[in-house]
Structure 1
């Protein structure tokens, strides 16, 4: 079972390698199909598939923690599910089961923003076909696609208040995560330092100013997502005035 264990040197992952581009191609295909076939998919019953996806995500995350324990990698400094994508994963599970609009409103922004960063600039040591490779990309693909599924197929739409709810959620969460970082020596939500690998944070200034820049960027990008996915009012046709024939 070397695919479940082994050192990362055996499966050294390189950004923008063939395996990475394959995953990005799969992402584009899934998103494209969700959008192109959205009307056809609306007519089908997907409730069992939604619950099954939630169970699959939960089992996959449990296997990840088992993998860390078996290989001696489970530590408080990095194994607590307090990263943005870990939080989004559990939000996705809750949304699939409960179908709550509030959960959708938050996941739409945390999922699209967090998972897109992870998919395009992954912080990953293990390449295909290691378990960690599958866990990382399968969870992030689903985190990205589930809110789009609820938008295009289920008919959910964000409002401008959804952006405010998300920013409030993150700012309530932030002090708690900072305390956890201080107690465990961790770097959850990258609130202690930037990731070692190349990431968007490299463009946002030094510590701690990149945190402020990141929040402003998250707000700006959330506004763009809202503008793209909000419910648009359908304009009624303007009736032409009746003209009596001469």
Structure 2
């Protein structure tokens, strides 16, 4: 039997990336279907447990030698926070946790799927954990929204914006102390990303923030129109 020709170094939209995106599409259909069944409650608990285990796994992986580096290994990215929040949303269906999972998962985690900042390739453990953690957060957002029928609203929007701003201010200050770049708040990533289209630092932070606010508002508006709310 032949094997897939996958380079040792990850290449955006190479073979391994397309396989992950195909898996992502299949997973979206699967979680929506399961969410609409009578067994969704039990599935939610298992789903939450898997997401939490994956988060513990990737942070353990990053904090062990020789990968440990204070500039990269601390769980300070929004995607690092999105995992535990998504797990709690799946377990409890609390509104605030759902809102953060919806906005963070369907924008920031999706961005990581489309323009991943990744160097290692399959079958490296770092590759597997990177994709698993991002995929499961997006699947959780899809499952909660289109499977279980939870809906975002303007209160959740405002709360998500406030929490994200507080995170950005705190992490920006910490980056100055550590010389790190968590959240890419203090400089662009070394690999190509969508931020390359938005100008130099710090100016790219302005259109980036405006775009997030606008996109999140557009993601909220259809659900808040009269007749669109869950009965």
TM-score tier after normalising by the smaller chain length: 0.7 to 0.9
Count of aligned pairs: 222
* RMSD of aligned residue pairs (Cα, Å): 2.0
Relative to structure 1, the CA distance from residue 232 to residue 89 in structure 2 (aligned partners, 3 Å threshold; closer, same or farther) is farther
Where does structure 2 lack aligned partners over 5 or more consecutive residues?
A: 1-6
CA contact (8 A) 1:163 1:219 kept: no
Where does structure 1 lack aligned partners over 5 or more consecutive residues?
A: 1-9, 235-246
Runs of 4+ in structure 1 over 3 Å off: 32-35, 227-232
1:1-246 equivalent positions in 2, closer than 5 A: 11-35=8-32, 37=33, 41-230=35-224, 233=227
Output the CA distance in 1 between the equivalents of 2:53 and 2:181: 25
TM-score scaled by structure 2?
0.88
Q: Which has the greater radius of gyration?
A: 1
Output the CA distance in 2 between the equivalents of 1:28 and 1:227: 25
Relative to structure 1, the CA distance from residue 57 to residue 16 in structure 2 (aligned partners, 3 Å threshold; closer, same or farther) is same
Output the CA distance in 2 between the equivalents of 1:43 and 1:19: 32
Residue number in structure 1 paired with 2:3: none
Output the CA distance in 1 between the equivalents of 2:116 and 2:55: 17
